[in-house]
Structures are given as structure tokens and as C-alpha cells.
């Protein structure tokens, strides 16, 4: 199985070079293979979100190696990291983070618009299909504030999938939803994972949902306690 994410001795510190330098990730090693559906669990402050941001190329590690889809990221320019992120990674945030000035359809098309520079007919067709798949047919032109939390999270999932990324990073995607809606959202992620083979790394506090993942990595105090 090809590794989509590969970490070797990954460290992250904040306040480097200052008296308050704090290391939050202490040399992590693990790989996430193509099509894997993995839960990242651990108590608050264990470094889950930091790890997700590092894998999502939103932050740079202080030390260690990080490869995404076979590309070693150390030494890459900001621009190259942006391109790598845009082409390979889809994000699902806890608070959906839809762009409020855009409709559901436009939000789903946005990664493609960023990639191509303009909205193509193909991107529109993909977005419409994705919105149908997440059960939002007829809601295409609604803005975020016209939809429920569950609907917004469905739009966010459709958006994360619009460029068929090889990796989906979800930061507590069900954390803000009721149990029933959380189950639906989880099922959707699972369905797309199986169908498209995208690897999923899901940060969650919900042991029930974590138990339904293929693999669980538990992070405690910046170290992998279990599941490597």
C-alpha cells in the first residue's frame, strides 16, 4: 500500500529560540496508506490539531521528515506547499468554515476555481453531483447562513472532495453536531473513503466514531501512545 502520509521523527515546537520554547510534538513516526480510514484521538492539548495542521501543510515542522503523496516537504517553498496542499488534501473543519459570501454550489466549486482560475462546466457538474450525493439537492444556491449545521458540514465534505484529493483531513467534523447528524456525516466520509480510495485522518473525541475507523492513533502529550 502506497503511503499518502509519511512522518519520520516529526517535531514541532513553538516559541523557538525564546525562553518559552515549547515542544508539542516529540518525534512522531507513522505512515498513513492509500485508502486508510484512521482516527486520531487523544485528550485536549495532546497535539492532535497541531499534527493535523502539519500534515495539512498549514504549518511547518521544527524537525523531522514529512512526505505527502510521496513528495518530501522539507525545503519546499511556500508556493510549492500551497500547490501540493491544493492538489492532494481536502479539509473538513469542525465549524464547517464555509465562505459566507458564496452559495453552497460555489463553496463546493471553490477548490476547482482556485486550481483552474475560473469555474469550469466540469467543476460545476462535479459540484452538483457531490451536493446530490451529500443529500443537498435543491440547496445549491443557499448561503451558509440559510442552512443548518449538519447541512453546512455536508457542504464542507462535498467541498473537501471536489478535487478528489488523495487525503482528507477532518478536524472534529462531528464535534458540533447531534448524534444522529454526526452519524450521517461520519457515514458520508466513510462512503467516499471506500468509493474513491481517499485516505482519511479524522480527529475526534467521540470513542464511538473512533471505534468505527479502520485504525486509531492515540496521541498523548505529543507522543503516539497507541496505534502506530
Partner 1 sequence: MARPKLPFEFLVALRFLREGRMQTALILLGVTGGVAVIVFLSQLISQLQATIIDRVLGSQAHVVMRPLEEVNLRASTDPASSVLIEPRAQRLRSIDQWEAMVKLAEAQPRVVAVSPVVSGPAFALRGRASKSVALVGVEPDRYRRIVKMDTYMTRGQFQVDGTNAIIGIELAKDLGVTVGDKMFLRAAGGRDELLQITGLFDIGNKDLNRRWVFTTMKLAQSLLDLPGGVSNIDITVADIFDAQEVSERLQAGSGLTVDSWMTTNSQLLAALRNQTVSNNLIRGFVVVIVALGISSVLVVSVVQKQKEIGILRAMGTSSNRVMGIFLLQGGLVGFVGALSGVGLAWGLLQFFSSVYRTGDGAPLFQPQLDTGIALSAALIALVVGVLAALIPARRAAKMDPVQAIRA
Question: Applying CB under 8 A, which residues contact partner 1?
Answer: 53, 56, 58-59, 78-79, 82-83, 85-87, 91, 93, 97-102, 105-106, 109-111, 113-115, 117-119, 121, 123-124, 128, 140, 159
Angstrom distance (rounded) from CA 84 to CA 75: 13
Tally Cβ neighbours within 10 Å of residue 180. Answer: 8
Q: Among residues 33 and 58, whose Cβ is nearest to partner 1? A: 58
Q: Among residues 11 and 87, whose Cβ is nearest to partner 1? A: 87
Backbone angles phi, psi at 205, to 5 degrees: -100, -5
Angstrom distance (rounded) from CA 161 to CA 220: 30
| Cross-strand bridge partners of residue 43 | none
Q: Among residues 6 and 107, whose Cβ is nearest to partner 1? A: 107
Q: How far is the CB of 207 from partner 1 (least distance, A)?
A: 25
Q: How far is the CB of 149 from partner 1 (least distance, A)?
A: 16
CA angle 165, 80, 78 (to 5 degrees): 115
Q: How far is the CB of 71 from partner 1 (least distance, A)?
A: 14
CA distances from 72 to 3, 37, 223 (A): 12, 22, 22
- Cβ-contact 165, 130 below 8 angstroms: no
* Half-sphere exposure of residue 45: CA atoms within 13 angstroms, side-chain side: 1
- Cβ-contact 115, 86 below 8 angstroms: yes
Q: Among residues 122 and 148, whose Cβ is nearest to partner 1? A: 122
Q: How far is the CB of 189 from partner 1 (least distance, A)?
A: 18
Q: How far is the CB of 114 from partner 1 (least distance, A)?
A: 5
Q: Among residues 83 and 220, whose Cβ is nearest to partner 1? A: 83
Q: How far is the CB of 179 from partner 1 (least distance, A)?
A: 26
Q: Among residues 98 and 134, whose Cβ is nearest to partner 1? A: 98
Amino acid at each position: 500500500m502506497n503511503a499518502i502520509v509519511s512522518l519520520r521523527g516529526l517535531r514541532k515546537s513553538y516559541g523557538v529560540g525564546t525562553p518559552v520554547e515549547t515542544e508539542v510534538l516529540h518525534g512522531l513516526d507513522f505512515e498513513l496508506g492509500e485508502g486508510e480510514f484512521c482516527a486520531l484521538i487523544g485528550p485536549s492539548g495532546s497535539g492532535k490539531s497541531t499534527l493535523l495542521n502539519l500534515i495539512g501543510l498549514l504549518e511547518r515542522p521544527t524537525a523531522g521528515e514529512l512526505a505527502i503523496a510521496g513528495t518530501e516537504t522539507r525545503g519546499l517553498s511556500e508556493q510549492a506547499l500551497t500547490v501540493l496542499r491544493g492538489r492532494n488534501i481536502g479539509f473538513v473543519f469542525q465549524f464547517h468554515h464555509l465562505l459566507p459570501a458564496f452559495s453552497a454550489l460555489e463553496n463546493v466549486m471553490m477548490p476547482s476555481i482556485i486550481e483552474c482560475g475560473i469555474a469550469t462546466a466540469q467543476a460545476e457538474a462535479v459540484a452538483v453531483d457531490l451536493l446530490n450525493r451529500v443529500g443537498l439537492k435543491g440547496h445549491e444556491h443557499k448561503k451558509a447562513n440559510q442552512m443548518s449545521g449538519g447541512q453546512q458540514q455536508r457542504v464542507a465534505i462535498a467541498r473537501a472532495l471536489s478535487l478528489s484529493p488523495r487525503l482528507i483531513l477532518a478536524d472534529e467534523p462531528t464535534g458540533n453536531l447531534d448524534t444522529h447528524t454526526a452519524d450521517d456525516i461520519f457515514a458520508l466520509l466513510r462512503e467516499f473513503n471506500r468509493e474513491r480510495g481517499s485516505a482519511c485522518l479524522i480527529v475526534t473525541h467521540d470513542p464511538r466514531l473512533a471505534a468505527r475507523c479502520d485504525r486509531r492513533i492515540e496521541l498523548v502529550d505529543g507522543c503516539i501512545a497507541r496505534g502506530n
